[in-house]
Amino acid sequence: MASANKGVWIGNLTKKPDLKETKNGSAYTRFSIAVNRRYKSSNGEWVEEVDFLPIIAWGPRGEACANNLDKGRSVAVFGRIRTYQTEDTESGKKYTQFEIVADDVQFLGAKPSTRSDAAEPESVNQPAEEEPHSKEMCPF
């Protein structure tokens, strides 16, 4: 049976990326992007909604995102969706969360402080660093 877990998301950063390290010293950056979508409702009116997508970028890719991105910057994220279980510490209720693991992040447009229509997109398509697989290495 064939399957695939790859996608491309284009949106704007909701805040400055947050660069951190795991206990083992692996760098990672978390940020989220706002992705707009538009559809026609059952009564024929156009509706616009925004989805906020959590992104994680590992290693040099994550460092480049933290150093070059800021709130409002447009990016294209190429990656895969990862799901994981978490537990509410107060209620003990378990629930599933997701995040997009970035294989490549392409910076679109200009940096917010130097807006220019002639800006060239940048890319951080660098070899992926192995992400943690065990609970003790996982940053959350």
7-123 to CATH, choices 3.30.70.1520, 1.10.1660.10, 2.40.50.140, 3.40.50.150: 2.40.50.140
8/127 Cα distance (integer angstroms):
18
Average pLDDT of the chain to the nearest whole number: 85
Domain residue spans in the chain? 7-123
Predicted TM-score (pTM) of the model is 0.75
Which has the higher per-residue pLDDT, 133 or 92?
Answer: 92
48/46 Cα distance (integer angstroms):
7
Query: What pLDDT does residue 110 have?
Result: 75
Cβ atoms < 10 Å from Cβ of 32: 18
Q: Which of 53-62, 102-111, 130-139 has the lowest mean pLDDT?
A: 130-139
pLDDT digits (tens, 9 = 90+) for 84-106: 999 998 999 999 999 999 999 99
DSSP E strands, 17-93: 18-21, 27-40, 46-58, 74-87
Q: Which of 27-41, 88-102, 109-123 has the lowest mean pLDDT?
A: 109-123
Using alpha carbons, select from 136, 56, 137, 70 the residue that is nearest to residue 103: 56
